Structure 1
């Protein structure tokens, strides 16, 4: 039922606005608190690390609860974060309220995806998941660039006001439009944990981790990169975030369609950006028009990364959608943490203009994992055929 997918998308919009809304204002936060840009980056990496460490456990713990209540509680935590952060609290408190909703983010995503495909024909499930994940791209085209632009003309605190408003709208959507959805049959913890022993799932998890690390080594410092490496001011950067997002909405729709036909091929196609974009950014140099074109390509190839990663992982264990997706979210966010950390280290030691090359290295590692999984699946198929 597409209505459920769109409700999930609305909540995802609130989630991503909160998680990635700080990307465009990290330089301003660093200046306000008189800290270095890599320390300001902890607001992103700490959030992602909490998701990585607790996501699967929280998803297992909440797997028996009514999905509507779980989704509502998760978005309510995001609302609290936005409200408290908008008052520019001490940095330790800002960090604390940023971390709190991270405990429930994977639970929200797993629940929203499960709700979206609950009554759907299997052949349309990837498309419905694509609708939910389009909340990522919609945030990039609407709330994230708008919050960045608003902070450039008003104050960085206004970015968090935007996050709060989006969370209120998402809460209203879940409360009024989603029916109660109790879990009819709760799977045992053992049956869900069993996927951790499957080699193809482990390799798929590593692919996800390397791919997200590759993208976020530069994307976490999008504003700082465009400012220092490409000479753009904060207003121009907000326009670039808008361009990035508008192309990303289209990319998510395309990816959802492509995944229905070929999951591995689609994942590899969009992953190619981790190798292509660093090269194009290097050759665009100081040419503004060329840089804008490259940012468009970057937005297209990056935006479906979470959708592709989740679908790629779930395809190896289709019987465990929620738990597999929570692991996809966790390892994806572990990739965000590592990418942000390594990216921050690169800025301090060499300069932000070198960050895209980190992405290229991790992108190659992700491609190797796709190749290894393909070999494993071929071997398993051969064993089955020989057994017959």
Structure 2
């Protein structure tokens, strides 16, 4: 039902505004707390690491709870996070309140996707999932660049105020528009954990991990990269986030349609951006127009990455939607953690202009996992034909 998909989308908008809203203000936070940019990056990497380590466990633990209550509780914690952060607490408190909602982020995503496709026809599920996932790209178009722009006018604390307002709107909509959804039949832990033994799923998980690592080695430091490597000021960076995001909304919609036709080819097409973008960024040099065009292409290729990664993983185990989605979220965020950490290390040791080449290397690794998965599935089909 599309109504539930759009409710899930609104909550996802709040989630992503909170998780990635700091990307545009990391330089300001680093300056305020008198710390290096890589340490400020902990606000992103610590959030992602908690998701990576606890996501599947939390999803299994909450799999028997009413879905409306799970979604409401998750967004309520995101609201508290934004509110406390807007008062510029000590840095350790800022990291602590950033970490708290991370425990329920994969639970929210898995639940929202499950609610969206609960009664949908098989040929409509990927499209409904793309509506929920478009919360990522719409956040990149609206709330994330708007928060960055507002912080450039006043101060970075206003960015967290905007995150609080978005979470409040999502909370109200979930409370009044989503009916109670108790789980009628809870799957056993054993049934859900069984997917971890399937080679095809393991390889798709590795592809997801490498793919997100590739993108976030540079994207986590988007503001710092454009500022130092391309000479843009904070206001210009907020405009670039807007360009990045508005093209991303279109590409996510296109990706949803393409995934309905062929999951593997769609994933490979958008993954190719991890190889193309570093080359284009290098050759754009300091030319402003060229850089804007490349940022547009970057936004188009990057934006459906979480949708593609999740769908690619779920296609291996279509009967374990929620648990597979929580694993996709966890390994994706493990990729965010590794990408952010490696990106911060590169900035400190070499310079931010080299960050895109980390993405190039991990993009190649992701392609290798996809090729291995394809070979394995062909081999399995041959075995089945022989047995038949």
Q: How does 1:106-185 map to 2 (within 5 A)?
A: 106-185=106-185
Give the deviation of 1:33 after TM superposition: 0.1
1:319, distance to aligned residue in structure 2 (A): 0.5
The residue number in structure 2 matching 1:252 is 252
Deviations 1:42-69 (A, max 9, x none): 0000000000000000000000000000
Q: SS at 1:318's partner residue? A: coil
Instruction: Note if 1:274 corresponds to 2:248.
Output: no
How far apart are residue 28 of structure 1 and its match?
0.1
Equivalent residue of 1:64, what SS? coil
The residue number in structure 1 matching 2:9 is 9
Structure 2 partner of 1:369: 369
**Deviation of the 1:386 alpha carbon:** 0.2
Deviation per residue, 1:193-213 (Å, 9 max, x gap)? 000000000000000000000
Equivalent residue runs for 1:328-347 within 5 Å: 328-347=328-347
Instruction: Give the Cα separation in 1 of the matches to 2:179 and 2:375.
Output: 44
Matched with 2:222 is 222
Could you tell me how far 1:229 is from its partner in structure 2? 0.1
Output one character per residue of 1:233-255: Cα deviation in whole Å (capped at 9) or x when no partner: 00000000000000000010000
Unmatched runs of 5 consecutive residues or more in structure 1:
none
Find the aligned partners of 2:291 and 2:211 in 1 and give their Cα distance: 23
Could you tell me how far apart the structure 2 residues matched to 1:145 and 1:299 are?
A: 13
Name the counterpart of 1:298: 298
Q: Secondary structure at the match of 1:13?
A: helix
Give CA deviations for 1:108-144 in whole Å, capped at 9, x if unaligned: 0000000000011110000000000000000000000
Which deviations, in whole Å up to 9, do the C-alpha atoms of 1:303-332 show, x marking residues without a partner?
000000000000000000000000000000
How far apart are the structure 2 equivalents of 1:155 and 1:84? 15
Give the corresponding residue for 1:188.
188
Query: What residue number does 1:358 align with?
Result: 358
Tell me how far 1:385 sits from its aligned partner.
Answer: 0.1
Q: Distance in 1 between matches of 2:114 and 2:68?
A: 11
TM-score (norm 1): 1.00
CA deviations on 1:183-236 (whole Å, 9 max, x unpaired) are: 010000000000000000000000000000000000000000000000000000
2:174 and 2:277 map into 1 onto residues whose CA distance is: 38
Distance 1:247 1:177 in 2: 30
The 5 Å alignment of 1:73-112 reads: 73-112=73-112
Give the unaligned 5+ runs of structure 2.
none
Determine if the alignment matches structure 1 residue 324 to structure 2 residue 324.
Answer: yes
- Could you say which residue in structure 1 is the equivalent of 2:40? 40
1:52 aligns with 2:36: no
Q: CA RMSD in A?
A: 0.3
TM-score (norm 2): 1.00
Any idea what SS the aligned residue of 1:316 has?
Answer: coil
Give me the whole-angstrom Cα distance separating, in 1, the residues matched to 2:141 and 2:72. Answer: 24
- Matched position secondary structure for 1:260: helix
Structure 1 residue 384: deviation in Å?
Answer: 0.3
Instruction: Give structure 1 regions of 4+ aligned residues with deviation exceeding 4 angstroms.
Output: none
- How far 1:335 moved relative to its partner? 0.1
Please report how far the alpha carbon of residue 375 of structure 1 lies from its aligned counterpart in structure 2 after TM superposition.
0.4
Distance in 2 of aligned mates of 1:185 and 1:52: 27
Query: d(CA) in 2 for partners of 1:183 and 1:246?
Result: 37
C-alpha distance in 1 between matches for 2:45 and 2:376: 33
